[in-house]
Amino acid sequence: MSAATLAPAPSSAPASSKMALNAALAAHGISTEAAGPDLTEDAVHETKTQIIAIYGKGGIGKSFTLANLSYMMAQQGKRVLLIGCDPKSDTTSLLFGGKACPTIIETSARKKAAGEEVRIEDVCFKRDGVFAMELGGPEVGRGCGGRGIIHGFELLEKLGFHDWGFDYVLLDFLGDVVCGGFGLPIARDMCQKVIVVGSNDLQSLYVANNVCSAVEYFRKLGGNVGVAGMVINKDDGTGEAAAFAEAVGIPVLASIPADEDIRRKSANYQIIGRPGDRWGPMFEELVQNVGDSKPMRPAPLTQDGLLGLFSADSVGRGVVLEPASLADMCGGTVTEKPTLEVVYDEA
């Protein structure tokens, strides 16, 4: 296919083992009657469909990685569904050659206003074997992105998400797991494993560490989601991201170099994860590693531990924290004022 087209997905898909929506939305008042039982450790390994949530700092290359990963998976004969869960709605832009994909949230609002039901072909599109959709988000200043995610998954459930038959479902999430909506897959066992995308910079590794912390926190509460590994994007060879992965105890699934050819083709919305192309073997290896990886329990770093991955010149570790005084805060001397507190004698 020389040009990307938004071909609607068929209105029905082959049934397979129930996919794990579980009680993911119950805590938010969303019906989960058809969601199936909670995942257990054994169920994770028995489930046919691998549901994988990919997290990373905004702009780190999640969408680039996922577009090429999902494309290579499809070329290898795997059934793959890519779901964009970022309010920017840019997950599928590379896959569809820069074309905008109608989002579930905007489509749902439009259909509701017209008194119509949302159908699969309204929100799911395909290219060369990859099925893809965007959840979307509210307009700027008009709502919470996390709530938009929750609303989107509610609609997916109504469309039969738990009955769809895919080998892989890839969820592209913003790395702000402090928000309940973005942390939902980890908190409610919606996926079996998580992949973090990062680079050799402090901010992206800070986000990756937060994701590891969220996974560890919910594991302590009985959750089953684990971290499958890390994809290092724009790797310039300085080694901080690889050192982070080793420190928290997760494997590096792929290192995508900071190469001008990759940057230029990505900017032009070109898929580089094609069999036989220059970068094909790199994504073939990533597909293999993603499929074989196990959900692991990470050991997140402290803030000092994270800073310790970088040189003192990079993070300013020579700075000494000097406590401020009340006089400093007031800009001069401070006059002591008698307290108005009432003190009662002990009986």
Find the largest Cα–Cα distance for the chain: 89
Computed from CA positions of residues 231, 84, 63, 71, in that sequence, does the dihedral angle turn out positive or negative?
positive
> Out of 57, 193, 234, 265, which one is annotated catalytic?
57
Report yes or no: 293 and 192 within 8 Å, Cβ to Cβ: no
Report yes or no: 155 and 85 within 8 Å, Cβ to Cβ: no
> Out of 18, 62, 126, 265, which one is annotated catalytic?
62
d(CA 35, CA 172): 21
176 flagged as catalytic: yes
18 flagged as catalytic: no
d(CA 58, CA 85): 12
Report yes or no: 36 and 155 within 8 Å, Cβ to Cβ: no
Phi and psi dihedrals of 121, rounded to 5?
-70, -10
> Out of 38, 78, 88, 167, which one is annotated catalytic?
88
> Out of 38, 163, 167, 176, which one is annotated catalytic?
176
152 Cβ contact partners less than 8 Å away, ≥ 6 residues apart: 85, 104, 105, 135, 136
206 Cβ contact partners less than 8 Å away, ≥ 6 residues apart: 57, 306
57 flagged as catalytic: yes
Q: 235 pairs with which residues across the strands?
A: 257
Complete DSSP assignment for 145-197: HHHHHHHHHHHHHHTTGGGB--SEEEEEEES-TTSTTTTHHHHTT-SSEEEEE
Cβ–Cβ contacts within 10 Å for residue 276, how many?
7
220 flagged as catalytic: no
Active-site amino acid positions: 57, 62, 88, 176
